[in-house]
Structure 1
Amino acid sequence: MLKQFEDLTRTVRNLHTVTDLLKSMGEKTENVFDIEDNFRGSDQMKVCVERVKAIPEARAMMESRYLGPEIDLEALSNLPPGTLGHTYATVMKALGFDPNFYRRRDVKTDADWVTMRLRKTHDIVHLITGFGPTGGELGVLAIHAVQIGYPMGVLLQVASMGLALKRQPEKLDYVTQQSARGMGMAIQIKPLIAQRWEAGWDKPVRQWREELNITNPVIDEPYSLKNRLPSLDLDW
Protein backbone atom coordinates (compact mmCIF):
# COMPACT_ATOMS: atom_id res chain seq x y z
CA MET A 1 0.00 0.00 0.00
CA LEU A 2 2.82 2.38 0.89
CA LYS A 3 4.59 1.68 -2.40
CA GLN A 4 1.38 2.33 -4.35
CA PHE A 5 1.01 5.67 -2.56
CA GLU A 6 4.63 6.58 -3.33
CA ASP A 7 4.15 5.70 -7.00
CA LEU A 8 0.98 7.79 -7.19
CA THR A 9 2.67 10.75 -5.51
CA ARG A 10 5.62 10.47 -7.90
CA THR A 11 3.26 10.41 -10.89
CA VAL A 12 1.39 13.51 -9.73
CA ARG A 13 4.63 15.40 -9.12
CA ASN A 14 5.99 14.44 -12.52
CA LEU A 15 2.75 15.40 -14.28
CA HIS A 16 2.83 18.87 -12.77
CA THR A 17 6.53 19.35 -13.45
CA VAL A 18 6.37 18.07 -17.04
CA THR A 19 3.44 20.36 -17.82
CA ASP A 20 5.35 23.35 -16.46
CA LEU A 21 8.46 22.38 -18.44
CA LEU A 22 6.63 21.96 -21.74
CA LYS A 23 4.78 25.25 -21.30
CA SER A 24 8.16 26.96 -21.01
CA MET A 25 9.24 25.27 -24.28
CA GLY A 26 11.97 23.42 -22.42
CA GLU A 27 13.67 26.50 -21.00
CA LYS A 28 13.07 25.71 -17.32
CA THR A 29 16.03 23.41 -16.77
CA GLU A 30 15.24 23.13 -13.06
CA ASN A 31 12.09 21.25 -14.07
CA VAL A 32 14.27 18.68 -15.83
CA PHE A 33 16.29 18.11 -12.66
CA ASP A 34 13.07 17.87 -10.64
CA ILE A 35 11.74 15.14 -12.94
CA GLU A 36 14.99 13.20 -12.66
CA ASP A 37 14.96 13.53 -8.88
CA ASN A 38 11.32 12.38 -8.74
CA PHE A 39 12.38 9.08 -10.33
CA ARG A 40 14.94 8.44 -7.61
CA GLY A 41 14.20 5.05 -6.05
CA SER A 42 11.56 4.17 -8.65
CA ASP A 43 11.16 0.80 -10.35
CA GLN A 44 11.74 2.53 -13.68
CA MET A 45 15.13 3.79 -12.55
CA LYS A 46 16.08 0.35 -11.22
CA VAL A 47 15.42 -1.15 -14.66
CA CYS A 48 17.48 1.61 -16.26
CA VAL A 49 20.41 0.84 -13.95
CA GLU A 50 20.27 -2.85 -14.88
CA ARG A 51 20.42 -1.92 -18.56
CA VAL A 52 23.47 0.24 -17.93
CA LYS A 53 25.13 -2.59 -16.02
CA ALA A 54 24.67 -4.81 -19.07
CA ILE A 55 27.12 -2.56 -20.96
CA PRO A 56 30.59 -3.64 -19.77
CA GLU A 57 32.31 -0.27 -20.28
CA ALA A 58 29.48 1.60 -18.58
CA ARG A 59 29.39 -0.87 -15.70
CA ALA A 60 33.12 -0.33 -15.09
CA MET A 61 32.60 3.44 -14.98
CA MET A 62 29.62 3.03 -12.68
CA GLU A 63 31.44 0.76 -10.24
CA SER A 64 34.40 3.16 -10.03
CA ARG A 65 31.96 6.11 -9.76
CA TYR A 66 33.80 7.82 -12.61
CA LEU A 67 32.43 11.30 -13.25
CA GLY A 68 35.57 12.91 -14.61
CA PRO A 69 37.14 16.26 -13.69
CA GLU A 70 35.36 19.60 -13.78
CA ILE A 71 35.16 20.96 -17.32
CA ASP A 72 37.46 23.93 -17.97
CA LEU A 73 36.40 25.76 -21.14
CA GLU A 74 39.52 27.92 -21.23
CA ALA A 75 41.81 24.89 -21.18
CA LEU A 76 39.73 23.16 -23.85
CA SER A 77 39.89 26.26 -26.04
CA ASN A 78 43.65 25.74 -26.33
CA LEU A 79 43.23 22.38 -28.03
CA PRO A 80 43.53 22.21 -31.84
CA PRO A 81 40.47 23.23 -33.90
CA GLY A 82 38.29 20.30 -34.86
CA THR A 83 38.94 18.38 -31.65
CA LEU A 84 36.06 17.53 -29.36
CA GLY A 85 37.42 19.79 -26.61
CA HIS A 86 38.00 22.85 -28.79
CA THR A 87 34.68 22.47 -30.60
CA TYR A 88 32.81 21.95 -27.34
CA ALA A 89 34.38 25.03 -25.77
CA THR A 90 33.62 27.13 -28.86
CA VAL A 91 29.97 26.06 -28.91
CA MET A 92 29.44 26.49 -25.18
CA LYS A 93 30.93 29.98 -25.24
CA ALA A 94 28.83 30.95 -28.25
CA LEU A 95 25.68 29.77 -26.47
CA GLY A 96 26.71 31.40 -23.18
CA PHE A 97 26.36 28.06 -21.39
CA ASP A 98 28.13 27.05 -18.18
CA PRO A 99 29.26 23.39 -18.48
CA ASN A 100 29.01 22.99 -14.70
CA PHE A 101 25.50 24.39 -14.32
CA TYR A 102 23.77 21.11 -13.51
CA ARG A 103 22.21 20.26 -10.16
CA ARG A 104 24.58 18.22 -7.99
CA ARG A 105 23.67 15.05 -6.14
CA ASP A 106 25.76 12.93 -3.80
CA VAL A 107 26.52 9.68 -5.61
CA LYS A 108 25.45 7.06 -3.09
CA THR A 109 23.87 4.54 -5.45
CA ASP A 110 24.28 3.26 -8.99
CA ALA A 111 21.18 5.23 -9.96
CA ASP A 112 22.76 8.42 -8.62
CA TRP A 113 25.79 7.78 -10.81
CA VAL A 114 23.69 7.32 -13.95
CA THR A 115 21.84 10.56 -13.33
CA MET A 116 24.94 12.58 -12.55
CA ARG A 117 26.89 11.22 -15.50
CA LEU A 118 24.07 12.07 -17.90
CA ARG A 119 23.72 15.55 -16.41
CA LYS A 120 27.41 16.27 -16.76
CA THR A 121 27.74 15.01 -20.33
CA HIS A 122 24.40 16.28 -21.67
CA ASP A 123 25.85 19.06 -23.82
CA ILE A 124 28.61 16.79 -25.12
CA VAL A 125 25.90 14.48 -26.45
CA HIS A 126 24.26 17.45 -28.17
CA LEU A 127 27.52 18.24 -29.91
CA ILE A 128 28.51 14.71 -30.89
CA THR A 129 25.06 13.91 -32.32
CA GLY A 130 24.35 17.35 -33.78
CA PHE A 131 21.05 17.97 -31.98
CA GLY A 132 20.67 21.60 -30.94
CA PRO A 133 19.93 22.72 -27.38
CA THR A 134 16.28 23.44 -26.51
CA GLY A 135 15.05 22.90 -30.08
CA GLY A 136 16.72 19.51 -30.31
CA GLU A 137 16.31 18.27 -26.75
CA LEU A 138 13.86 15.54 -27.69
CA GLY A 139 16.43 13.98 -30.01
CA VAL A 140 18.98 13.64 -27.22
CA LEU A 141 16.35 12.36 -24.79
CA ALA A 142 15.22 9.81 -27.37
CA ILE A 143 18.74 8.37 -27.52
CA HIS A 144 18.90 7.85 -23.76
CA ALA A 145 15.34 6.49 -23.75
CA VAL A 146 16.16 3.85 -26.35
CA GLN A 147 19.69 2.94 -25.29
CA ILE A 148 19.15 2.61 -21.53
CA GLY A 149 15.47 3.32 -20.85
CA TYR A 150 16.25 6.51 -18.92
CA PRO A 151 12.90 7.34 -17.25
CA MET A 152 13.05 11.11 -17.71
CA GLY A 153 13.82 10.67 -21.41
CA VAL A 154 10.94 8.26 -21.88
CA LEU A 155 8.48 10.46 -19.98
CA LEU A 156 9.29 13.62 -21.93
CA GLN A 157 9.00 11.80 -25.27
CA VAL A 158 5.48 10.71 -24.46
CA ALA A 159 4.46 13.97 -22.81
CA SER A 160 5.79 16.16 -25.62
CA MET A 161 3.91 14.22 -28.27
CA GLY A 162 0.73 14.19 -26.21
CA LEU A 163 0.86 17.91 -25.53
CA ALA A 164 1.57 18.72 -29.18
CA LEU A 165 -1.29 16.48 -30.31
CA LYS A 166 -3.75 18.09 -27.91
CA ARG A 167 -2.71 21.74 -27.83
CA GLN A 168 -0.32 22.44 -30.71
CA PRO A 169 -1.01 19.94 -33.51
CA GLU A 170 0.90 22.14 -35.94
CA LYS A 171 4.08 21.26 -34.01
CA LEU A 172 3.47 17.53 -33.97
CA ASP A 173 5.52 16.97 -37.12
CA TYR A 174 8.50 18.82 -35.63
CA VAL A 175 8.26 16.90 -32.36
CA THR A 176 7.83 13.46 -33.85
CA GLN A 177 10.64 13.96 -36.36
CA GLN A 178 13.08 14.83 -33.58
CA SER A 179 12.09 11.78 -31.58
CA ALA A 180 12.24 9.49 -34.59
CA ARG A 181 15.67 10.84 -35.55
CA GLY A 182 17.01 10.26 -32.06
CA MET A 183 15.51 6.79 -31.79
CA GLY A 184 16.93 5.75 -35.15
CA MET A 185 20.36 7.06 -34.19
CA ALA A 186 20.20 5.32 -30.80
CA ILE A 187 19.80 1.90 -32.40
CA GLN A 188 22.68 2.45 -34.79
CA ILE A 189 25.35 3.98 -32.55
CA LYS A 190 27.36 2.71 -29.60
CA PRO A 191 26.06 3.41 -26.05
CA LEU A 192 26.80 7.04 -25.20
CA ILE A 193 26.60 6.39 -21.44
CA ALA A 194 29.74 4.21 -21.83
CA GLN A 195 32.00 6.92 -23.27
CA ARG A 196 34.85 8.58 -21.37
CA TRP A 197 34.65 11.85 -23.28
CA GLU A 198 37.20 13.53 -21.03
CA ALA A 199 39.87 11.04 -22.09
CA GLY A 200 39.41 12.09 -25.70
CA TRP A 201 39.06 15.85 -25.64
CA ASP A 202 42.00 16.00 -28.05
CA LYS A 203 40.37 13.58 -30.50
CA PRO A 204 38.68 15.12 -33.60
CA VAL A 205 34.89 15.20 -33.55
CA ARG A 206 34.89 13.35 -36.88
CA GLN A 207 36.95 10.53 -35.35
CA TRP A 208 34.63 10.30 -32.34
CA ARG A 209 31.66 9.99 -34.66
CA GLU A 210 33.32 7.33 -36.76
CA GLU A 211 34.19 5.26 -33.68
CA LEU A 212 30.66 5.63 -32.33
CA ASN A 213 29.16 4.77 -35.73
CA ILE A 214 27.40 8.12 -36.03
CA THR A 215 27.33 8.05 -39.83
CA ASN A 216 24.53 10.57 -40.21
CA PRO A 217 24.77 13.33 -37.57
CA VAL A 218 22.06 15.97 -37.34
CA ILE A 219 23.32 18.85 -39.46
CA ASP A 220 20.77 20.31 -41.87
CA GLU A 221 17.60 19.73 -39.88
CA PRO A 222 15.83 22.74 -38.30
CA TYR A 223 16.54 21.32 -34.82
CA SER A 224 20.28 20.97 -35.42
CA LEU A 225 23.06 22.62 -33.47
CA LYS A 226 24.39 24.08 -36.71
CA ASN A 227 21.05 25.76 -37.34
CA ARG A 228 21.21 27.30 -33.87
CA LEU A 229 24.74 28.64 -34.46
CA PRO A 230 24.97 29.34 -38.20
CA SER A 231 27.68 31.98 -37.81
CA LEU A 232 30.26 29.60 -36.31
CA ASP A 233 32.88 28.36 -38.74
CA LEU A 234 33.04 24.75 -37.57
CA ASP A 235 33.37 21.41 -39.29
CA TRP A 236 29.87 20.28 -38.42
Structure 2
Amino acid sequence: MSYTQTLSLPDNASLFTRLRVARRCLKELRNDATNPTYGQTFNLSLNANVYASLAQQFQRSEEGRRMLSKRPSLEARELDLAAFERLPEGTLGHEFARYYRDNKISPFATTLELKSDIDFLSKRYRETHDLLHVLTGYGTDVVGEMELQAYVLGNMGLRTTMLVLLNGTIGQLKAPQSGVERSEYLRRLWAAYRRGRASPRFLDFWFEEHWETPVATLRARLCAPAHA
Protein backbone atom coordinates (compact mmCIF):
# COMPACT_ATOMS: atom_id res chain seq x y z
CA MET A 1 0.00 0.00 0.00
CA SER A 2 1.61 3.20 -1.13
CA TYR A 3 1.06 6.63 0.36
CA THR A 4 -0.61 7.82 -2.84
CA GLN A 5 -2.93 4.85 -2.97
CA THR A 6 -4.11 5.19 0.61
CA LEU A 7 -4.85 8.90 0.35
CA SER A 8 -6.67 8.43 -2.95
CA LEU A 9 -9.41 6.42 -1.26
CA PRO A 10 -12.72 7.92 -2.42
CA ASP A 11 -14.91 9.65 0.10
CA ASN A 12 -17.53 6.97 -0.42
CA ALA A 13 -15.16 4.07 0.21
CA SER A 14 -16.90 1.28 2.09
CA LEU A 15 -16.49 0.87 5.82
CA PHE A 16 -14.81 -2.47 5.13
CA THR A 17 -12.20 -0.78 2.91
CA ARG A 18 -11.53 1.95 5.46
CA LEU A 19 -11.22 -0.58 8.27
CA ARG A 20 -8.83 -2.66 6.20
CA VAL A 21 -6.63 0.37 5.51
CA ALA A 22 -6.80 1.47 9.15
CA ARG A 23 -5.81 -1.99 10.46
CA ARG A 24 -2.89 -2.18 8.04
CA CYS A 25 -1.65 1.24 9.14
CA LEU A 26 -2.09 0.37 12.81
CA LYS A 27 -0.01 -2.76 12.33
CA GLU A 28 2.81 -0.74 10.77
CA LEU A 29 2.61 1.95 13.46
CA ARG A 30 3.29 -0.60 16.20
CA ASN A 31 6.82 -0.88 14.81
CA ASP A 32 7.23 2.74 13.71
CA ALA A 33 4.96 4.97 15.78
CA THR A 34 6.08 8.27 14.22
CA ASN A 35 5.92 7.17 10.57
CA PRO A 36 4.15 10.12 8.91
CA THR A 37 2.72 8.15 5.99
CA TYR A 38 0.96 5.51 8.04
CA GLY A 39 0.07 7.90 10.84
CA GLN A 40 -1.65 10.34 8.51
CA THR A 41 -3.38 7.62 6.54
CA PHE A 42 -4.61 5.88 9.67
CA ASN A 43 -5.97 9.14 11.04
CA LEU A 44 -7.85 9.99 7.84
CA SER A 45 -9.08 6.47 7.10
CA LEU A 46 -11.92 6.56 9.64
CA ASN A 47 -12.04 10.17 10.84
CA ALA A 48 -12.76 12.19 7.70
CA ASN A 49 -16.45 12.63 8.54
CA VAL A 50 -15.61 13.64 12.11
CA TYR A 51 -13.17 16.28 10.86
CA ALA A 52 -15.70 17.53 8.31
CA SER A 53 -18.20 18.08 11.12
CA LEU A 54 -15.55 19.82 13.23
CA ALA A 55 -14.65 22.10 10.33
CA GLN A 56 -18.27 23.22 10.14
CA GLN A 57 -18.23 23.94 13.87
CA PHE A 58 -14.99 25.91 13.54
CA GLN A 59 -16.60 28.09 10.86
CA ARG A 60 -19.22 29.23 13.38
CA SER A 61 -16.74 31.07 15.62
CA GLU A 62 -14.22 33.83 15.00
CA GLU A 63 -11.38 31.85 16.60
CA GLY A 64 -12.29 28.74 14.63
CA ARG A 65 -12.32 30.64 11.35
CA ARG A 66 -8.95 32.20 12.22
CA MET A 67 -7.43 28.77 12.82
CA LEU A 68 -8.78 27.33 9.58
CA SER A 69 -7.49 30.40 7.74
CA LYS A 70 -4.03 30.58 9.33
CA ARG A 71 -3.52 26.81 9.66
CA PRO A 72 -0.86 27.00 12.40
CA SER A 73 1.66 24.18 12.58
CA LEU A 74 3.19 22.24 15.45
CA GLU A 75 5.28 19.91 13.34
CA ALA A 76 8.98 19.38 13.95
CA ARG A 77 10.38 22.10 11.70
CA GLU A 78 8.29 24.76 13.45
CA LEU A 79 9.47 23.93 16.98
CA ASP A 80 12.66 25.29 18.57
CA LEU A 81 13.02 22.84 21.44
CA ALA A 82 16.36 24.33 22.52
CA ALA A 83 14.67 27.72 22.99
CA PHE A 84 11.76 26.07 24.81
CA GLU A 85 14.14 24.44 27.27
CA ARG A 86 15.43 27.89 28.25
CA LEU A 87 11.96 28.97 29.35
CA PRO A 88 11.16 28.76 33.08
CA GLU A 89 10.38 25.34 34.51
CA GLY A 90 6.70 24.60 34.58
CA THR A 91 5.90 26.56 31.43
CA LEU A 92 4.36 24.74 28.50
CA GLY A 93 7.41 25.25 26.30
CA HIS A 94 9.89 24.02 28.90
CA GLU A 95 7.83 20.96 29.86
CA PHE A 96 7.16 20.16 26.20
CA ALA A 97 10.89 20.15 25.44
CA ARG A 98 11.54 18.08 28.57
CA TYR A 99 8.91 15.57 27.45
CA TYR A 100 10.79 14.94 24.21
CA ARG A 101 14.15 14.78 25.94
CA ASP A 102 13.01 12.42 28.69
CA ASN A 103 11.24 10.09 26.28
CA LYS A 104 14.03 10.26 23.68
CA ILE A 105 11.60 11.00 20.86
CA SER A 106 11.14 13.76 18.29
CA PRO A 107 8.14 15.86 17.24
CA PHE A 108 5.93 14.64 14.40
CA ALA A 109 6.82 15.40 10.82
CA THR A 110 4.28 15.31 8.02
CA THR A 111 4.21 14.54 4.31
CA LEU A 112 0.54 15.38 3.94
CA GLU A 113 -0.39 18.09 1.46
CA LEU A 114 -3.11 20.24 2.99
CA LYS A 115 -5.82 20.36 0.36
CA SER A 116 -8.75 20.94 2.68
CA ASP A 117 -9.81 21.84 6.21
CA ILE A 118 -10.19 18.10 6.83
CA ASP A 119 -6.51 17.55 6.01
CA PHE A 120 -5.53 20.41 8.30
CA LEU A 121 -7.58 19.15 11.25
CA SER A 122 -6.21 15.65 10.78
CA LYS A 123 -2.68 17.05 10.84
CA ARG A 124 -3.49 19.29 13.81
CA TYR A 125 -4.76 16.38 15.85
CA ARG A 126 -1.61 14.32 15.29
CA GLU A 127 0.57 17.30 16.23
CA THR A 128 -1.25 17.86 19.52
CA HIS A 129 -0.77 14.25 20.68
CA ASP A 130 2.42 14.94 22.62
CA LEU A 131 1.08 18.20 24.03
CA LEU A 132 -1.89 16.26 25.40
CA HIS A 133 0.50 13.94 27.23
CA VAL A 134 2.02 16.99 28.92
CA LEU A 135 -1.33 18.58 29.75
CA THR A 136 -3.24 15.50 30.91
CA GLY A 137 -0.33 13.88 32.72
CA TYR A 138 -0.95 10.50 31.07
CA GLY A 139 2.27 8.56 30.62
CA THR A 140 3.88 7.20 27.49
CA ASP A 141 3.82 3.60 28.72
CA VAL A 142 1.26 1.18 27.27
CA VAL A 143 -1.46 2.01 29.79
CA GLY A 144 -0.80 5.75 29.63
CA GLU A 145 -1.12 5.74 25.86
CA MET A 146 -4.43 3.90 26.14
CA GLU A 147 -5.63 6.42 28.73
CA LEU A 148 -4.86 9.24 26.31
CA GLN A 149 -6.74 7.45 23.54
CA ALA A 150 -9.74 7.09 25.86
CA TYR A 151 -9.49 10.79 26.75
CA VAL A 152 -9.49 11.77 23.06
CA LEU A 153 -12.40 9.43 22.36
CA GLY A 154 -14.39 11.22 25.04
CA ASN A 155 -13.33 14.67 23.86
CA MET A 156 -13.56 14.31 20.08
CA GLY A 157 -15.17 10.97 19.28
CA LEU A 158 -12.47 9.95 16.81
CA ARG A 159 -13.18 6.53 15.37
CA THR A 160 -9.53 5.57 15.13
CA THR A 161 -9.24 5.88 18.91
CA MET A 162 -11.92 3.21 19.25
CA LEU A 163 -9.87 0.89 17.04
CA VAL A 164 -6.68 1.58 19.01
CA LEU A 165 -8.49 1.00 22.31
CA LEU A 166 -10.06 -2.21 21.05
CA ASN A 167 -6.73 -3.63 19.93
CA GLY A 168 -4.91 -2.45 23.03
CA THR A 169 -7.57 -3.71 25.41
CA ILE A 170 -7.68 -7.16 23.82
CA GLY A 171 -3.92 -7.40 24.31
CA GLN A 172 -4.10 -6.09 27.86
CA LEU A 173 -6.86 -8.51 28.87
CA LYS A 174 -4.89 -11.41 27.43
CA ALA A 175 -1.59 -10.42 29.02
CA PRO A 176 -1.64 -7.45 31.46
CA GLN A 177 1.33 -5.11 31.06
CA SER A 178 3.08 -2.66 33.36
CA GLY A 179 1.83 -4.57 36.41
CA VAL A 180 -1.69 -3.15 36.00
CA GLU A 181 -4.49 -5.61 36.73
CA ARG A 182 -7.36 -5.95 34.26
CA SER A 183 -9.90 -4.31 36.54
CA GLU A 184 -7.57 -1.38 37.25
CA TYR A 185 -6.82 -0.99 33.54
CA LEU A 186 -10.52 -0.80 32.63
CA ARG A 187 -11.20 1.59 35.52
CA ARG A 188 -8.46 3.92 34.33
CA LEU A 189 -9.72 3.91 30.74
CA TRP A 190 -13.26 4.71 31.86
CA ALA A 191 -12.00 7.54 34.06
CA ALA A 192 -9.95 8.96 31.17
CA TYR A 193 -12.93 8.75 28.81
CA ARG A 194 -15.17 10.59 31.27
CA ARG A 195 -12.49 13.20 31.82
CA GLY A 196 -12.21 13.79 28.08
CA ARG A 197 -15.97 14.19 27.75
CA ALA A 198 -16.02 16.72 30.58
CA SER A 199 -13.12 18.77 29.14
CA PRO A 200 -13.33 21.66 26.67
CA ARG A 201 -12.35 20.81 23.09
CA PHE A 202 -8.58 21.13 22.73
CA LEU A 203 -8.17 20.98 18.95
CA ASP A 204 -8.90 24.66 18.30
CA PHE A 205 -6.66 25.95 21.09
CA TRP A 206 -3.69 28.07 19.99
CA PHE A 207 -0.87 26.31 21.85
CA GLU A 208 1.61 28.32 19.78
CA GLU A 209 0.62 31.43 21.73
CA HIS A 210 1.15 29.85 25.15
CA TRP A 211 4.68 28.47 25.36
CA GLU A 212 5.38 30.76 28.32
CA THR A 213 2.13 29.92 30.12
CA PRO A 214 2.41 27.53 33.09
CA VAL A 215 1.21 24.01 32.37
CA ALA A 216 -0.86 24.14 35.54
CA THR A 217 -2.77 27.14 34.19
CA LEU A 218 -3.47 25.45 30.86
CA ARG A 219 -4.41 22.18 32.53
CA ALA A 220 -7.00 23.97 34.64
CA ARG A 221 -8.34 25.67 31.51
CA LEU A 222 -8.38 22.72 29.12
CA CYS A 223 -8.65 19.55 31.20
CA ALA A 224 -11.35 18.48 33.61
CA PRO A 225 -10.02 17.20 36.94
CA ALA A 226 -8.72 13.64 36.86
CA HIS A 227 -11.03 11.58 39.08
CA ALA A 228 -11.00 7.87 39.70
TM-score normalised to structure 1 length: 0.74
Counterpart in the other structure of 1:111: 118
Residue identity in the other structure for 1:110: D
Higher-RCO chain (CA-CA 8 Å, sequence separation at least 6): 1
Please name the residue that 1:207 is paired with.
217
Aligned-pair CA distance for 1:84: 0.9
Matches within 5 A, 1:212-231: 212-216=222-226
- Residue 50 (structure 1) aligns with: 53
Q: What TM-score do the two structures reach when normalised by structure 2?
A: 0.76
Counterpart of 1:8 in structure 2 is 16
Separation (CA, whole Å) in 2 of partners of 1:29 and 1:141: 14
Sequence identity, in percent? 23
1:164 is aligned to 2:168: no
Pick aligned residue for 2:86 from 78, 82, 86: 78
1:66 aligns with 2:51: no
Aligned partner of 2:127 among 120, 127, 148: 120
- Is the contact between residue 138 and residue 178 of structure 1 (CA under 8 Å) also seen in structure 2? no
1:115-173 residue CA offsets vs partner (Å, 9 max, x unmatched): 211222211110000011143111222222222222221221223223434x3368643
Given that 1:131 and 1:140 are in contact with CA atoms closer than 8 Å, whether structure 2 keeps it comes out as yes
The DSSP-based 3-state class of the residue aligned with 1:98 is coil
Judge conservation of contact 1:141–1:153 (CA < 8 Å) in 2. yes
Q: Report how far residue 109 of structure 1 moved.
A: 1.5
* 1:89 aligned to which of 77, 90, 97: 97
Q: Distance in 1 between matches of 2:125 and 2:87?
A: 24
Aligned partner (choices 185, 191, 199) of residue 181 of structure 1:
191
* Post-superposition CA distance 1:1-35 (Å, at most 9, x none): x98864323222333444565xx5xx531579626
Once residues 151 and 192 of structure 2 are traced to their aligned partners in structure 1, the CA distance between those partners, rounded to angstroms, is: 5
